[in-house]
A = this chain, B = another copy of it.
Amino acid sequence: MAKEKRTAIEPTRQQDYPEWYQQVIKAADLAENSPVRGCMVIKPWGYSLWEHIQGSLDKMFKDTGHVNAYFPLFIPVSYLEKEAEHVEGFAKECAVVTHSRLELNEEGKLVPASPLDEPLIVRPTSETIIGEMYSRWVQSYRDLPILVNQWANVVRWEMRTRLFLRTAEFLWQEGHTAHATREEAEEETQKMLRVYEDFATNYMAMPVICGRKTEGEKFPGAVDTYCIEAMMQDRKALQAGTSHFLGQNFAKASNIKYLSEAGKEEYAWTTSWGVSTRLIGGMIMTHSDDNGLVLPPKLAPLHVVILPVLHKDAEKESIMQYCENLKKEISALNFANREIRVQIDTRDLRGGEKTWSWIKKGVPVRVEVGPRDIANDSVFVARRDTDEKKGVPRTEFIATLPSLLQEIQDNLLARALAYRQANTTEISSKEDFYAYFTPQNAKKPEIHGGFAIANYDGSEEVEDTLRKDLKVTVRCIPLEGGEPTGKCIFTGKDAKYRAVFAKSY
């Protein structure tokens, strides 16, 4: 048996996927758990990813007519109560503020003091408080639509947390819009779903399926929840973003009424839509390999790292000068309408250690510059995605760098799409379905079948059974999925949907 190649991340994806995920994050120094239960610290490299996600999405929101605003962190408990399904969905796990002061007790211990008249919760999402404000802002049809987004932190007291994927506090954006007509609100819901699809596909290089959630999986209080679902490398699904058509539910709960052009008092129609730091988890699990993080160039904090190869002191000055010039040339280039981000690593570390640190951080392109390279006016270029390495004349490298970055971006998307396609199967019998989702190898319980596409009758009973038997859920009813044909593979009744089923995060 061939000796297994040593990898920078241990365990590998095959050996232990959840642990591999944690180790990739650690090796890239993206984030870590804090001493505050369930709350993570997003470290500079991870936060820079979030800044690039934020910057790109924010521009897309503004280009589609939205503006940003900021609403309170706290929500009075009575607001949550206004929407019955909503309170059901969020009251079970939330941070409750009950006092406004600490004081020393007799034992010299700090204890809560000055109880509030009404407890507040830390926002798990802001429909109710924003709805209250909209009810003050909207009087006539002329005040509509309201197209507002908020970048904020939210808190959901999750019992089991995982960095980026599920944390008690997380960062996100939440769009909240109000419209005069149902049609307009439905159109907005779809529009923002497609913005998310565009962002996931063309920035994160993460292919997604756009679809609608079933009754059991939709947002508490929504009429319809739409989502983008991506496949991770353990073949599980990740819900990466949602766009909710809220109908008049929250308008009625918050009393958002307007006088129509015809002079009639009407309730507004609202939507909400959000993505969060969970996207970072999705990006990690879509592209990274057994040597660590792999980043799509459009969101990489750094596109190129220059590594001077310094052996003799005598060569140092000329090599550093060459690197500085190279850096200047690279900075003058554009990729995806932004300056290419480049850095010289001058740290006093062994060459191998230096190189591996950048591999683990996922920088798309590494450039080594040693004395022989300078002599030839060439550079030694390594691609993170394919691990390809070769010497290239400097002028050629500069001339082709933007297209190389685009090639890497495209390759990541193509690779992820091929992976998803290879692990998506149409299934036409219950037996095959159960076999597909039953681990073949008890030693690798984390490897699952993938996405199954099947006809089903749309009943909650089927969903409940699958959840219990296989931990499989309906991820979505794809918008581009075609109509169901024939019978439900589970019950034999007429099929209502052709849905995507999978295990999920």
Q: Which residues of A contact B (CB under 8 A)?
A: 34-36, 39-44, 47-48, 50-51, 67-77, 80-81, 87, 91-103, 110-112, 119-122, 129, 132-133, 148, 152-153, 155, 157, 169, 171
Residues of B within 8 A of A132 (CB): 34-35
Residues of B within 8 A of A169 (CB): 72-74
- Distance of A85 from chain B, by nearest CB (Å): 14
Q: How far is the CA of A152 from the CA of B47 in the complex (A)?
A: 13
CB <8 Å contact, A95 and B94: no
Can you list 23 A-B contacts (CB < 8 A)? A34-B132, A34-B133, A36-B72, A36-B74, A36-B76, A41-B72, A42-B70, A47-B67, A51-B68, A80-B110, A87-B110, A91-B101, A91-B102, A92-B102, A94-B101, A94-B102, A96-B97, A96-B98, A96-B99, A96-B102, A98-B112, A101-B157, A122-B122
Residues of B within 8 A of A119 (CB): 99, 102, 111-112
- Distance of A213 from chain B, by nearest CB (Å): 25
Residues of B within 8 A of A122 (CB): 73, 97, 122
Residues of B within 8 A of A35 (CB): 76, 129, 132
Q: Which of these, B47, B72, B110, contacts A70 with CB under 8 Å? A: B47
Q: Which of these, B42, B71, B97, B133, contacts A69 with CB under 8 Å? A: B42
Chain B residue with Cβ nearest A35 = B132
Residues of B within 8 A of A100 (CB): 93-96, 157
Residues of B within 8 A of A153 (CB): 73, 152-153
Chain B residue with Cβ nearest A104 = B91
- Distance of A66 from chain B, by nearest CB (Å): 9
CB <8 Å contact, A171 and B70: yes
Q: How far is the CA of A50 from the CA of B151 in the complex (A)?
A: 12
Residues of B within 8 A of A120 (CB): 36, 95
Q: How far is the CA of A330 from the CA of B400 in the complex (A)?
A: 34
CB <8 Å contact, A48 and B68: yes
- Distance of A109 from chain B, by nearest CB (Å): 9
Q: How far is the CA of A95 from the CA of B119 in the complex (A)?
A: 11
Known A-B contacts A68-B47, A73-B169; the reply to A34 vs B102 at CB < 8 A is no
Q: How far is the CA of A166 from the CA of B348 in the complex (A)?
A: 47
Residues of B within 8 A of A87 (CB): 102, 110
Q: How far is the CA of A124 from the CA of B99 in the complex (A)?
A: 14
- Distance of A472 from chain B, by nearest CB (Å): 29
